[in-house]
Amino acid sequence: MIMKGKKGVILGIANKKSIAYGIAQACREQGAEVAITFLNERFEKKLAPVAEDLGCADKFYPCDVSKPEEIKALKESLEKDMGQIDFIVHSIAFAPKEGLTGRFYEISKDAFDIAMDISVYSLIEIVRELKPILSNNSSVLTLSYYGGVKYIPNYNLMGVAKAALEMTTRYLAEDLGRDGIRVNAISAGPIKTLAAAGIGEFGFMLKWNAAHAPLKKNVTIQDVGNSGMYLLSDLSASVTGEVHYVDAGFNIMGMPSVSFDEDGRQSIAWNGEK
């Protein structure tokens, strides 16, 4: 088993449809021991069955990354219950609703600060606090999206946060490489998760991606989970600072695919249809 003997913590599972859950599943299937976190009491109740399913009901900790004391407490709990750990999965992002709607130039400084703090700075803070218990051959993984590279409608402030997150990944990779710590990101295609529910016209985004990605499909949490497991395992021992796309190839497209009718007239392809 690829992850046998590996131990790690996964932050950001909201339910069984979460990308982070897909990563946790893949790691468990390959022999890893995992711990997971919950945001607050409401999520604790919802995620208790998930922790049971992942075999970590005894390694199920609170962690609101906006509260530094909870990150410190997480480190103490992990050290007590697991000793050293080999991987961290950071699947945390948030922007106030105003940051995902309306005119971009009207976004408030408060909304900007919140999005950057929760979605970006939390990665730095988590790594800094947990570094003393990371093994000498450890891996950190965070989750991005194509909206951090190109304009995506209704993504707005979260796109700016993802851009910052991807650069944070690269700078952390360089800084922590000397300590044997690898840092990578996965840029997943659109998936219908709890977080995606806050993005306007998300159903259209799913259809567009499936229509125009080279593989003509959307990805699943299992697809992302398997790639995540690879980046957390020794199979990727010399991979760091990368943003790995798991989006059925959508990111390579410069313009939509086209098709031709019997008269040679050109039209945009839509799920394989004219």
Largest interatomic CA distance in the chain: 71
**Under 8 Å between Cβ of 150 and 105:** no
Q: Can you tell me the distance from the alpha carbon of 36 to that of 29, in angstroms, rounded to the nearest whole number?
A: 16
Residue 272: its pLDDT value, please? 47
Specify whether the backbone of 156 is left (phi greater than 0), alpha (psi in -120 to 50) or beta: left
**Under 8 Å between Cβ of 100 and 198:** yes
From residue 117, alpha-carbon distances to 33, 37, 67, 70 in Å are 29, 18, 11, 15
Q: Can you tell me the distance from the alpha carbon of 38 to that of 224, in angstroms, rounded to the nearest whole number?
A: 21
Task: Reduce the DSSP state of residue 183 to 3 states and report it.
Answer: strand
Q: Can you tell me the distance from the alpha carbon of 124 to that of 178, in angstroms, rounded to the nearest whole number?
A: 17
Q: Can you tell me the distance from the alpha carbon of 8 to that of 178, in angstroms, rounded to the nearest whole number?
A: 20
| pLDDT 10s digits, 70-113 | 999 999 999 999 999 999 999 999 999 899 888 999 999 999 99
Residue 274: its pLDDT value, please? 42
Domains of the chain: 7-205+215-255 (3.40.50.720)
**Tokens representing residue 208 in the block:** 């567009």
The sheet with strand 85-90 has its strands ordered as: 60-62, 33-38, 7-11, 85-90, 134-144, 181-188, 243-246
Residue 256: its pLDDT value, please? 78
**Under 8 Å between Cβ of 189 and 209:** yes
Residues known to be catalytic: 145, 155
Query: 0.85 cut: is pTM over it?
Result: yes
Run means of pLDDT, 10 residues per run, the chain, 274 residues: 97 94 97 97 94 96 97 98 98 92 94 97 98 97 96 92 98 98 96 67 82 92 97 98 96 79 58 47
Name the packing angle between helices 109-116 and 156-177 (round to 10°).
40
Residue 159's nearest CA partner among 116, 209, 193 is 116
Residue 205: its pLDDT value, please? 81
Q: Can you tell me the distance from the alpha carbon of 19 to that of 7, in angstroms, rounded to the nearest whole number?
A: 19
Calculate ∠ Cα 172-173-175, nearest 5°: 60
Residue 207: its pLDDT value, please? 87
How far from each other are the two terminal CA atoms of the chain, in whole angstroms? 46
Contacts of 126 (CB under 8 A, 6+ apart): 11, 65, 71, 88, 90
Residue 50: its pLDDT value, please? 96
Residue 273: its pLDDT value, please? 47
